[in-house]
Amino acid sequence: MPSLTPDQVRHIAKLARLRLSDSEVEKFATEMTNILQYVEMLGEVNTDGIEATAQVTGLENALRPDVVQSTVSADALLHTSPLPIKDHQIQTPSAHG
């Protein structure tokens, strides 16, 4: 697997709304490439005959009844934001600009 390029790391950071310095971009390019290589190695493990496991504790879901409770209007929730609201959406600052 080829290494992640600095541009790919910057793109991922932008999607995650993270600001990275040039040194962080270089650091994370190496670290993220190592992680992806490890995940690729896991794909080589022979799992034939292994039953899928959702969880290992033996516990079962404890669900509460689905009861409708009083609701808050969307407008009331929007107006709790300190950020500007435009077209019924909260406007957030861009991570890169």
Number of alpha helices (DSSP H) and beta strands (DSSP E) in the chain: 3, 2
**pLDDT of 93 strictly over 60:** yes
pLDDT over threshold 60, residue 96: no
Go through the domains of the chain in sequence order and give each one's CATH number.
6-42 (1.10.20)
3-state secondary structure of 15: helix
Higher local confidence (pLDDT), 51 or 96: 51
Q: What is the pLDDT of residues 48-76, one digit of tens each?
A: 998 888 788 888 887 888 888 888 898 89
